[in-house]
Each structure stands twice: as structure tokens, then as C-alpha cells.
């Protein structure tokens, strides 16, 4: 039986981007016009000290970022430095900077990282983020976005834990997906192959395997967080699990399944797994 957990509060927009476009991890806004033309400071997320000052604004593209924080003696890269609108620099605390970077690491790993040849790089970045967390003396650990267990808990509960999350494709072209622990991945796949899930989706009247597995993710998330399926925000599900569907499509799926008790129970029975 899937057990509820205490640490299941979903991050709000304020937790992810506390100052909206006034502050973001450098890597997150690279290639955009955010902070371009706005006096910008790049700061260390551990001490809050300034490591770069762009008086004319952050360049739209930052080709190289490799800066040493003199106070922390830690090498900062684009994925662990925060760009802040200089006018707001005094209003953001170190704990918020820390949270912003950790949230960004989670989102980046959960959505799957590939190179220009579509080869997975999650293991590589998991190692990078973990080493940087140690350098900062943070307690960040890789965790599954669905069951919320971190790498230590997964290692204790999964005999076949490889140290990395599985990548579940929602789409191959363009590449889009979500990383999950093996238990969660097997749960939404009914411990079977994609063609068998596709067959079951059509048996139940779903448009596609993706729609069925999206609602599976919703049902599991609701069970794990101790909520009713219809209480979940469709925007939250699309954002957290990098879904292909629009919020309105997810909202319709939730409404349809919630109002069909037999269908809900059939899906839940097929999801039966021991995620503790």
C-alpha cells in the first residue's frame, strides 16, 4: 500500500522563484532576455556574496561561467550561481538563494538531461550537484519527484538501486519526460511494456498511453500526499511531472476519472505497489 508522507508540501512559485524575474539561477535564464539590460549581480547561493557585477545587464547568452567565491572558496558554475536584479539584492536572504538553487537542481534532474546527441546525462549531473552540495555543506540529495524518497531512502528500500533515477519518456521527438525511481516507474507502467499499457489505455477508453499514465501519476501523487485526486492542481501536475498535456486537458482527465469510481478503482488496483 502506498503510504502518505509528511514532507510532501509542493513548492510554490515564491519558493522556486522568490523574486520572479528579478532573481534566477544563471543557467535557468541563459538564452533569454530576463535581466538583459538590467543592472545585475551574480551571487554565491551559500554566502550571498557578489562574484560578478554586470552594470549594463546580464548578457542574453553566458557562454562561460566559472567563478571562485572568495568567501566560501567554492568554484561556482552556471547551475549553482544566482543572478539578481541589483535593485533587489538586499531583499533576498541566503536561505532563499540556497532554496532556489536546490529547487532548480531538482527540476533539472527530474525533467531529464541529455546532450545534443540525445544521450542521457542525469548520472553526470547528479554527481556534480551532490559534490557541490557537499562543498556548500548543504543536505541536498537526489530524490524521486513522485514518492519523494531521497537517494539514501531509495538505497535502503530498493535492492536494485543504481544510484540514479529512471528516465520515463512522455515523447521521443521532441524528447520530453520525467525521471522517477524504479518503483514509481514500474508502477505507472503497470510492471509491463509500453505496448501493453497502450492496450490497457484503449480498453479503458483513454485517448493514449500518455493520458493514462498522466492520470496514474496524479493518483499516486494524491495518495502519497494524502489528498483526493480532484484536490490536485492541474498546473502543479503539468509543471512537476513535465507532462505533455495542457493544464486544461489534465483538469478534464482528473474530473472524468474522479467521477467514475469503477475506473478509478481499476486504475488504482493496477498501480498497487509498495512505495514506503
Cα–Cα distance list, 207 to 80, 172, 249 (Å): 41, 18, 11
Bridge partner residues of 76 (DSSP): 67
pLDDT band for position 200 (cuts 50, 70, 90) = very high
Q: Which of 14-18, 62-66, 107-111, 163-167 has the lowest mean pLDDT?
A: 14-18
pTM for this model (two decimals)? 0.78
Bridge partner residues of 143 (DSSP): 150
- Please say whether the beta carbons of 40 and 54 come within 8 A: yes
At 34, which helix (H) or strand (E)? none
CA–CA separation, 255 vs 263, rounded Å? Answer: 12
* pLDDT, mean over the chain: 86
Q: Which three cell numbers stand for residue 156?
A: 535502503
Q: Which of 38-47, 156-165, 245-254 has the lowest mean pLDDT?
A: 156-165
| Residue-wise pLDDT tens digits, 216-275 | 999 999 999 999 999 999 999 999 999 999 999 999 999 999 999 999 999 999 997 444
Q: Which three cell numbers stand for residue 209?
A: 498511453
Cα–Cα distance list, 146 to 70, 117, 123, 159, 160 (Å): 38, 28, 19, 19, 18
- Please say whether the beta carbons of 170 and 244 come within 8 A: yes
Helix (H, G, I), strand (E, B) or coil at 181: coil
At 98, which helix (H) or strand (E)? helix 94-110
Q: Which residues of 4-41 are buried (b: 16+ CB within 10 A; e: fewer)?
A: eeeeeeebeeeebbbbeebbbbbbbbbeeebbeebebb
Given 3-state DSSP classes, what are the helix, strand and coil percentages for the chain, each rounded to the nearest 5?
Answer: 45, 15, 40
CA–CA separation, 102 vs 91, rounded Å? Answer: 19
CA–CA separation, 143 vs 138, rounded Å? Answer: 15
Model pLDDT, residue 216? 96
| Residue-wise pLDDT tens digits, 87-129 | 998 889 999 999 999 999 998 888 876 555 555 566 677 888 9
Amino acid at each position: 500500500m502506498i503510504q502518505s508522507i509528511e514532507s510532501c508540501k509542493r513548492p510554490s512559485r515564491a519558493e522556486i522563484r522568490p523574486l520572479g524575474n528579478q532573481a534566477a539561477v544563471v543557467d535557468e535564464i541563459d538564452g533569454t532576455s530576463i535581466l538583459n539590460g538590467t543592472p545585475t549581480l551574480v551571487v554565491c547561493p551559500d554566502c550571498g556574496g557578489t562574484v560578478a557585477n554586470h552594470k549594463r545587464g546580464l548578457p542574453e547568452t553566458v557562454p562561460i561561467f566559472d567563478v571562485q567565491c572568495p568567501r566560501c572558496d567554492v568554484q561556482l558554475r552556471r547551475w549553482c550561481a544566482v543572478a539578481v536584479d541589483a535593485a533587489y539584492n538586499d531583499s533576498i536572504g541566503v536561505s532563499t538563494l540556497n532554496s532556489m538553487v536546490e529547487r532548480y537542481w531538482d527540476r533539472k534532474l527530474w525533467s531529464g538531461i541529455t546532450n545534443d546527441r540525445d544521450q542521457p546525462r542525469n548520472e553526470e549531473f547528479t554527481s556534480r550537484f551532490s559534490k557541490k552540495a557537499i562543498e556548500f555543506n548543504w543536505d541536498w540529495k537526489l530524490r524521486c519527484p513522485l514518492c519523494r524518497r531521497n537517494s539514501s531512502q531509495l538505497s535502503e528500500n530498493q535492492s536494485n538501486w543504481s544510484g540514479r533515477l529512471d528516465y520515463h519518456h512522455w515523447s521521443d521527438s521532441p524528447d520530453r519526460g520525467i525521471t522517477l525511481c524504479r518503483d514509481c516507474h514500474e508502477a505507472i507502467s503497470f510492471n509491463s511494456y509500453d505496448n501493453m499499457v497502450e492496450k490497457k489505455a484503449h480498453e479503458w477508453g483513454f485517448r493514449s498511453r500518455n493520458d493514462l499514465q498522466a492520470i496514474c501519476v496524479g493518483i499516486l501523487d494524491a495518495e502519497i500526499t494524502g489528498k483526493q485526486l480532484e484536490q490536485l492542481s492541474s498546473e502543479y501536475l503539468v509543471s512537476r511531472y513535465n507532462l505533455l498535456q495542457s493544464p486544461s486537458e489534465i483538469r478534464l482527465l482528473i474530473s472524468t476519472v474522479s467521477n467514475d469510481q469503477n475506473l478509478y478503482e481499476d486504475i488504482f488496483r493496477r498501480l498497487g505497489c509498495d512505495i514506503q
